[in-house]
Structure 1
Amino acid sequence: MPAALQSRLNVILLIVALAGLISGLGLMLAGRSQLAAVAWTAGVVPVLVALVVEIVRSLAKGEVGLDIVAALSMSAALFFGETLAASVVAVMYSGGTFLESFAEGRARREMRHLLARVPRTATRHRNGKLDEVPLNEVAPGDLLLIRQGDVAPADGVVEGDRAILDQSALTGESMPVRLARGQEVMSGSTNAGEAFDLRVTRPAAESTYAGIVRLVEAAQASKAPMSRLADRYSLMFLLVTVVLASSAWWLTGDPIRAVAVLVVATPCPLILAVPVALVAGLSRAAQLGVLIKGARPLEALAGIRTLILDKTGTLTDGRPRIVSIEPLSGLRQDEVLLLAASLEQASKHPMARAIVTSARERGTTLHIPTQVVEIAGEGLEGTVDGRRVVIGGASFVAGRIAATTPERTILEADAALVAVAVDGQLAAHIVMADTLRAGTPLLLKDLRRLGLSRIMLATGDRRSVADAIVSGLELDAVHAEMTPEQKVQLVLTERESHAPVMMVGDGVNDAPALAAADVGVAMGARGAAASAEAADVVLLVDHLDRLLPGIEIAQGARRIALQSVVVGIGLSIAGMLAAAFGYLTPVQGALLQEAIDVAVILNALRALRIRPQALPQSDDSIAR
């Protein structure tokens, strides 16, 4: 049954059960006992029917849950005329299932659809005009216009002079790439430069991005579902319940004692307290910028032992930053930055935005550039405060000032060189790179403290880049130049030998691995919609350190849920023994069960007050 339909059914059943209980109590107070029994029965029967259907489905899949105990208690109470007790059980059961569906539904509504990033139409050249056509009409050989900011809807080759593309969501390469005429463009890449023409080589349905979407769907379909925490105790509890109820009836000859045992045995503490604790954990985590998509992912998060990290946008910031400024003339570093950033205000290039951002972060007051001329993908020149400034690639700047190209044009690791000339003279080199997130070494130590025994990197980037980024980090393995299929295989291999596994990523290429992992975590602030949809957990704030409070809250909520299970079962067994010896009637048993429910639910609500040790100081405002 679809999740939305199941959720609506749970709401209806809870309303029906509550209406039956309340109206029956009103009729009983009015002296209409027979009508009260009818009202209670009317509230119980729909819940019981839905419960029996669910039990049959579970048994068909080889699953045995605590639902059987609830069905036995309601059926026995109705059969022997204890309709009030049956009504109380129905309300408790329907309330528990409502809470479970509410937990997952509330989280899922926050997510965008997997295909939100996929273009629905394409701009195609035809007979000297541009037409907006549905994506399924795009065929190999078609010429498409890819405007600035557009996502390439199909695989193809660059038809114009050049194209500047952001492929980070697909390959993990954080720096924009420049492609010349005839070079291949992968669908899902974002145009980070001026508009260009793309000659389609494959239909959209066979494109790189479509293949990744199919991988996500396959991984989600093959992912084994988790059992509910409470159901893990079901067989033992069911056996104890049946033995006590049967023994009480057989030894005394009084079937009402068996009914009383079944009513007290109704696993409401488990059906209610466990989802309450987990929903409270979900709410607490959301306050800290960690969106967990339901109770089952929260349970899984509490038991993670292996962590696989993507690089770009996850272990690193995912955007270029200034690593160093190397003056080559008499200018100081701050003067170079002032002139370069002032001119770069006129460009939309990612490098330009990074330089401007860096200058503003350092408190630099920028000037307004004039007479700006930009050569897309090459660089730009203009006047800043009366000085002629040229900025761009080393060859471009050298050509503009009639100088030889400097020897230093290729850098190690994931770095790029930006040349700056002032008044016809090469003034400085600005070295830019995608840098490791601050505090990463300490983060990895804290993750191990929380029980993660194996941490590794998996990236589509080059081996030299991966090794340079993780130098000095305590990682168990580094996997580079990986395709989406290889990342999925790594997750499956690690799960078999070191289960359970958590995968963290933010790109489209990470989505299949996120879907295959026991817990997939997406960087939701800037990550791709595909990864956010495929993941079980989304970090709403773009900081990897949110993993720490997320895991601590999951562990705390699960611990509190287990406490509720143990205490609830213990109290229920004590009540069952009292009922078996005739000290409790079915109604008294139902009231006792209510008291047990209140006790374990209050305990479960402690999950709302979990305060992780790893809560960053910057989170205080979020927590409030």
Structure 2
Amino acid sequence: METSRSDRLKTVILLWAAAGLTSGLAFYFAGRTGVADLLWVAGVVPALVALGVEILRSLRSGEVGLDIVAALSMAAALVFGETLAAAVVALMYSGGTFLEAFAEGRARRSMRDLLSRVPRTATRHRDGGLEDVPLDDLAPGDRLLIRQGDVVPVDGTVASETAFLDTSALTGESLPVRLARGAEAMSGSTNAGEAFELTATHEAKDSTYAGIVRLVETAQASKAPMSRLADRWSLGFLLVTLGIALAAWWITGDPIRAVAVLVVATPCPLILAVPVALVAGLSRATHFGVLIKGAGPLETMARIHTLILDKTGTLTDGRPQIVSINSQNGMAEDDILRLAASLDQASKHPVAQAIVEAAKARGLALPVPSEVAEFPGEGLVGHVEGRDVVVGGDDFVAARVGRRPGDRTSIAAGSVLVAVAIDGRMAGYLVMSDPLREGASAMLDGLRREGIARILLATGDRADVAERVTEGLGLDGVRAGLTPDQKVLLVLTEHKHGPVMMVGDGVNDAPALAAADVGVAMGARGAAASAEAADVVLLVDRIDRLGPGIEIARSARRIAVESVVAGIGLSVLGMIAAAYGYLTPVEGALLQEVIDVAVILNALRALRITPRETATTAGAA
């Protein structure tokens, strides 16, 4: 509400200044210069008063803002009778503040769209019928109907045969994705196909979308460090401006030259262009599935020297996958997998669920098991299609079929061996491992090209497992067997090389994420603690989004710096020209208006940043 009132006030002041300038010009050309002067003064006063209020607020908070130069230029022009120049400066300044509000509104459009998509109710199955209920009434296990065009209200699993979801608001993916029964559906996705059933797995407040909205609100409340840096430069810029103005007055004896210098020095580019560029960068990063919690982390992200990666769930997928099936007695691989997966449907163990997913991915029909008994941490026994099936660790299965465990020396470090026995005989082994994420190697190469000088792995896993997983990646170091506090120590130690980015997904990574200059969390499946501690959240479960995020941050910072250099440089050249008498106050005001527009338009280029890898992929597609 406060922002809305402020925007309305800026609009009124702009319209008033424009009306004063244009009506004054009409009377001036009609030969009534006295009335024109009064109208120009009337157009300046509201802008000058509003500017004075802002200056007092800045001084009370201990800041010397660049607005002082704008106020001096308007006041000096009025004092020395240059009312037209004062009216042009008033229109320029009020137009600049209005443009700032407009540009920031445009830059945050995707964030506002994200917030506006929050559903308020959901359609739930209850007692054979359907009812619309508030989101707060939903609980895990509720079965929901998601109609075509509905936004998925909570995280859940698809209970229908298939679902067709548009995830562009969350991940930037331009094409909808098809999900099979049992697949995870993120809240905030839009149903782009037929109606489907969803089984809720989280409450609304704990769902992906609610967490993202909270992070977006945090990002919107941020103020750019470079904007504060511009405020720190303001004292030096003010002294230079006053020095040139007073020197021109003292040497020539003409106060109008000092007025012209002050008018040209009005620092709208420095005030507006930096935050516009960085906020635009935040919006652009969100479009590609990288939520940066503020302009501060974005600016720091652009200067990262060292990258530290967690292993499980970050560099690797975090979910075991079947890499091979070894048959022991001539049974077909699909039969071994089908029977094992059918029995594993009765277990919630991650390995069991991974086996079930692998069987479904092969299109295998899984009958319902019976007489199932689960031995936690060891395995399961039961009946599938009238056959005795045992699935679990090699020792557990060997004891059930009366044989010695098999030879494990040929199994790679970090792999999981799942034994399967059918009707009292060994049927085979499912060899599982946690593989590297797809595109991890290419992602690391891209980060090297972006200027990341050091890339390290930090994991609590065994050294042999870490070395096997990272073989051929060309990392600068592998640190294994680390506790959470040791990860923090590693981050602090790496500070000596430059700004450090830490990427992780687990609760054990949260301290290191908080200690890093920039902490990045895998938000799609990561722990809530890591997302809260991080400065950046990857909204989609893809590590390869990190590269585009860094590239966007660096491009936005570069555009912001360009805006600062161009704004100050052009203003100083204009001041020198005015001091030598080449510009009148009115001409100086018009020149500064041109500088303002040019520099702010340059800052808005950040809205069109397209990461190179993303553009290449799109072109190839």
What is the TM-score normalised by the length of structure 1?
0.70
**Where do 1:578-617 residues align within 5 Å?**
578-615=577-614
**What is the distance in 2 between the residues matched to 1:75 and 1:483?**
63
Could you tell me which residue of structure 1 aligns to residue 90 of structure 2? 87
Q: Separation in 2 of the partners of 1:247 and 1:343?
A: 90
Quote the residue 2:473 is aligned against: 473
Give matches, 1:489-500, under 5 Å. 489-495=489-495, 497-500=496-499
Q: Which moved more, 1:326-335 or 1:379-388?
A: 379-388
Partner of 1:540: 539
Aligned position for 1:48: 52
Structure 1 residue 22 and structure 2 residue 21: aligned? no
Corresponding residue for residue 297 of structure 2: 297
For the 8 Å contact 2:398–2:405, the answer to whether it is kept is yes
Give the drift of 1:310. 1.3
Q: CA deviation at 1:432?
A: 2.1
Q: Give the C-alpha shift of residue 9 in structure 1.
A: 5.7
Q: Deviations over 1:157-210 (max 9, x none)?
A: xxxxxxxxxxxxxxxxxxxxxxxxxxxxxxxxxxxxxxxxxxxxxxxxxxxxxx
What is the identity, as a one-letter code, of the residue corresponding to 2:518? Answer: V
| Aligned counterparts of 2:263 and 2:3: Cα–Cα separation in 1 | 22
Q: Which amino acid aligns with 2:61?
A: R
**Aligned counterpart, 1:268:** 268
Counterpart position of 1:522: 521
Task: For residue 499 of structure 1, report the CA deviation from its aligned partner.
Answer: 0.9
Q: What letter corresponds to residue 367 of structure 2 in structure 1?
A: I
Q: Which amino acid aligns with 2:8?
A: I
Counterpart of 1:346, as a letter, is A
Q: Distance in 2 between matches of 1:387 and 1:552?
A: 57
SS of residue in 1 equivalent to 2:380: strand
TM-superposition CA deviations, 1:135-155 (whole Å, max 9, x none)? xxxxxxxxxxxx99xxxxxxx
1:273-302 deviations in Å (ceiling 9; x for gaps): 223332332232222212222333222222
SS of the equivalent of 1:414 reads coil
Distance 1:29 1:84, change over 3 A: closer
CA contact (8 A) 2:41 2:78 kept: no
Structure 1 residues 511, 66: closer, same or farther in 2, change over 3 A?
A: farther
Partner of 2:530: 531
Distance (Å, rounded) in 2 between the aligned partners of 1:433 and 1:74: 71
Q: Secondary structure of the residue that 1:614 maps to in structure 2?
A: helix
SS state at 1:390 partner? strand
Partners in 1 of 2:332 and 2:232 — Cα distance? 68
**How far off is 1:22 after superposition?**
0.9
* Alpha-carbon distance change, 404 to 557 in structure 1, aligned in 2, over 3 angstroms: same
Between the aligned partners of 2:604 and 2:104, the Cα distance in structure 1 is 18
Corresponding residue number in structure 2 for 1:427: 427
Alignment of 1:172-321 (within 5 A): 226-228=225-227, 230=230, 234=234, 237-321=237-321
1 CA distance for matches of 2:79 and 2:534? 47
Deviations 1:182-240 (A, max 9, x none): xxxxxxxxxxxxxxxxxxxxxxxxxxxxxxxxxxxxxxxxxxx9444645755654443
Deviation for aligned residue 1:331: 1.2
Counterpart code for 1:442: A
Distance 1:65 1:528, change over 3 A: farther
Cα separation, 2, equivalents of 1:312 and 1:609: 34
Please name the residue that 2:357 is paired with.
357
Residue 244 of structure 1: how far off its partner (Å): 1.7
Q: Is the 8 A contact 2:110 2:287 kept in 1?
A: no
Change (3 A) 1:26 1:609: closer
**Is the CA contact 1:380–1:392 (under 8 Å) kept in the aligned structure 2?**
yes
Going from structure 1 to structure 2, the CA distance change for 1:51 and 1:236 (only over 3 Å counts) comes to closer
Q: In 2, Cα distance between the equivalents of 1:325 and 1:97?
A: 62
Partner residue of 2:30?
A: none
Note if 1:562 corresponds to 2:561.
yes
Which region of structure 1 is more displaced relative to structure 2, 49-58 or 336-345?
A: 49-58
Q: State how 1:128-167 maps to structure 2 within 5 Å.
A: none
1:40 shift after superposition: 4.0
Structure 1 residue 437 displacement after superposition: 2.0
Instruction: Show the counterpart of 1:193.
Output: none
Letter in 2 for 1:84: A
Q: Match of 1:197?
A: none
Structure 1 residue 552 corresponds to structure 2 residue 551: yes
Displacement of 1:427 in angstroms is: 0.9
Contact residue 276 and residue 605 of structure 1 kept, 8 A: yes
- The aligned residue for residue 367 of structure 2 is 368
Counterpart code for 1:279: V
Name 1:436's counterpart in structure 2.
Answer: 436
Structure 1 stretch 309-318 or stretch 71-80: which is displaced more?
71-80
Q: Is the Cα–Cα contact under 8 Å of residues 308 and 502 in structure 1 kept in the other structure?
A: yes
Q: Which residue of 2 aligns with 1:343?
A: 343
| Aligned equivalents of 1:334, 1:466: Cα separation in 2 | 31
Work out the CA distance in 2 between the residues paired with 1:110 and 1:297. Answer: 22
Change (3 A) 1:580 1:568: same
Instruction: Kindly provide the amino acid, as one letter, of the partner of residue 526 in structure 2.
Output: G
Give the Cα–Cα distance (whole angstroms) in 1 for the partners of residues 487 and 78 of structure 2.
55
Residue 413 (1) aligns with residue 413 (2): yes
Specify the SS of the correspondent of 2:613. Answer: coil
* Alpha-carbon separation, structure 2, partners of 1:469 and 1:430: 19
Contact 1:346 1:372 in 2 (8 A): no
8 Å CA contact 1:532, 1:538 repeated in 2: yes
Deviation (angstroms), 1:265: 1.3
Cα shift at 1:451: 0.9
Distance 2:459 2:65 in 1: 41
**Which range moved further: 42-51 or 546-555?**
42-51
TM-aligned CA distance change 1:107 to 1:80, over 3 Å:
farther
Equivalent-residue separation in structure 2 for 1:24 and 1:271 (angstroms): 20
Q: Is the 8 A contact 2:507 2:529 kept in 1?
A: yes
Which secondary structure does the structure 1 equivalent of 2:61 belong to?
Answer: helix
Unmatched segments (≥5 aa) in structure 2: 25-34, 116-139, 142-223
For each residue in 1:348-401, what CA deviation from the matched residue of structure 2 results, as whole angstroms up to 9, or x when unmatched? 22112211222333x332222231514152433344445332212334334444
Give the % identical residues: 57
Aligned to 1:573: 572
Do the aligned partners of residues 74 and 396 (structure 1) sit closer, same or farther apart at CA in structure 2, a change above 3 Å counting?
farther
Q: Name the CA distance, whole Å, in 1 between partners of 2:96 and 2:9.
A: 12
Shift of 1:455: 1.2
1:412–1:75 CA distance, 2 compared to 1 (3 A): farther
| CA distance 1:394–1:104, shift in 2 (3 Å) | farther
The answer to whether the Cα contact below 8 Å between 1:367 and 1:385 also exists between their aligned partners in 2 is no
Shift of 1:262: 2.1
Shift of 1:15: 3.3
Shift in Å, 1:544: 1.3
Distance 1:237 1:482, change over 3 A: same
Distance 1:339 1:69, change over 3 A: farther
Whichever residue aligns with residue 19 of structure 1, its letter is V
Measure how far apart 1:58 and its partner are.
4.5
Distance 1:531 1:70 in 2: 45
> CA deviation digits over 1:558-597, x for unaligned, max 9?
2223333333223222322343344545454333322222
TM-score normalized with structure 2 length:
0.70
The aligned amino acid for 2:606 is: A
Change (3 A) 1:424 1:617: farther
Q: Relative to structure 1, is the Cα distance of residues 72 and 28 closer, same or farther in structure 2, using a 3 angstrom cutoff?
A: closer
Q: Describe the SS at the equivalent of 1:615.
A: helix
- The unaligned stretches of length 5 or more in structure 1 are 1-7, 113-146, 149-224
1:385–1:447 distance in 2 versus 1, CA, 3 Å: same
